[in-house]
Amino acid sequence: MSKVGIFGGTFDPIHHGHLITAQSVREIRNLDRIIFIPSFISPHKADVNSASPEHRMNMLKLAVEEIEFFEVSDYEIKKEGISYTIDTLKEFKKKYDELQFIIGYDNIFKFHTWKNPDEIMKITKILVLKRKSSLPPPHEDKYVKSALFVETRGIEISATDIREKVKQGMPIHYLVPEKVKEYIYSFNLYK
Ligand code: ATP
């Protein structure tokens, strides 16, 4: 039976925070692999000026190309429009026996605002990346109660911070894989 982790996000750009925590979740939850699915337009970030879907996809591919248990899917990017998790999960459910959907700590507390949250919960187990430093839950609804909090390593890196650093001409060594750094510079992203 294949046990697959689905990790969605804007990945603008993919960074070591994503990669290290994903690796940690895979080990803790004994997943066969993790599929990174960059959104075309995130329902939560539709107002942010991001790198093109093609650039985000290319950076993800560079970041995971040598890791056998990491994969990238262009499903949401090919589909275009706003990327709703429920639609993506229904599609992947056709192919895999067991899906576990990986989300960041803050996202579980906004989960009730997502499209069809009950249906998402039926299709998949929600894994929440809980850093050791995470604040106590601000509130507990049925979604928070049925999610599984996975204590991963806390890697305090954010894509917003990386974009800001590039804009200001500051170095981004060690925050992203070397090939992603080169890609950002060669296409002059986030300037
Ligand atoms: P931004 O700064 O642009 O909001 P981000 O770094 O949070 O971006 P996303 O692409 O939104 O990156 O992240 C995808 C998922 O990974 C989200 O669920 C987010 O909470 C989670 N995530 C992002 N950075 C980290 C990190 N350093 N450790 C653990 N989870 C993370």
* Ordered structural domains, the chain, with CATH: 3-183 (3.40.50.620)
Q: What pLDDT score was predicted for residue 159?
A: 95
Which residues are near ligand 1 (CB < 6 Å)?
9-12, 17-18, 21, 103-104, 107, 129, 155, 157-160
Q: What pLDDT score was predicted for residue 43?
A: 59
Q: What pLDDT score was predicted for residue 108?
A: 92
Q: What pLDDT score was predicted for residue 71?
A: 97
Q: What pLDDT score was predicted for residue 154?
A: 80
Q: How far is the CA of 157 from the centre of ligand 1 (A)?
A: 8
Please answer whether residues 56 and 11 qualify as being in contact, where contact means their C-beta atoms are separated by less than 8 angstroms: yes
- Residue ranges in the chain whose pLDDT is less than 70: 1, 42-49, 132-134
Q: What pLDDT score was predicted for residue 139?
A: 81
Between CA 42 and CA 45 the distance in angstroms is: 5
User: Residues of 68-98 as b/e, b for ≥16 C-beta within 10 angstroms?
Assistant: eebbbbebbbeeeeebbbbebbeebeeebee
Q: What pLDDT score was predicted for residue 8?
A: 93
Q: How far is the CA of 8 from the centre of ligand 1 (A)?
A: 9
Q: How far is the CA of 17 from the centre of ligand 1 (A)?
A: 7
| Mean pLDDT of the chain, nearest integer | 91
3-state secondary structure of 178: helix
**Most informative mutation of 14, 16, 18 for ligand 1 (most atoms within 8 A of CB):** 18
Between CA 180 and CA 115 the distance in angstroms is: 32
Q: How far is the CA of 170 from the centre of ligand 1 (A)?
A: 21
Q: What pLDDT score was predicted for residue 135?
A: 74
Q: Quote the strand ranges of 112-180, DSSP E.
A: 125-131, 148-152
Residue 100 is given by DSSP the state E
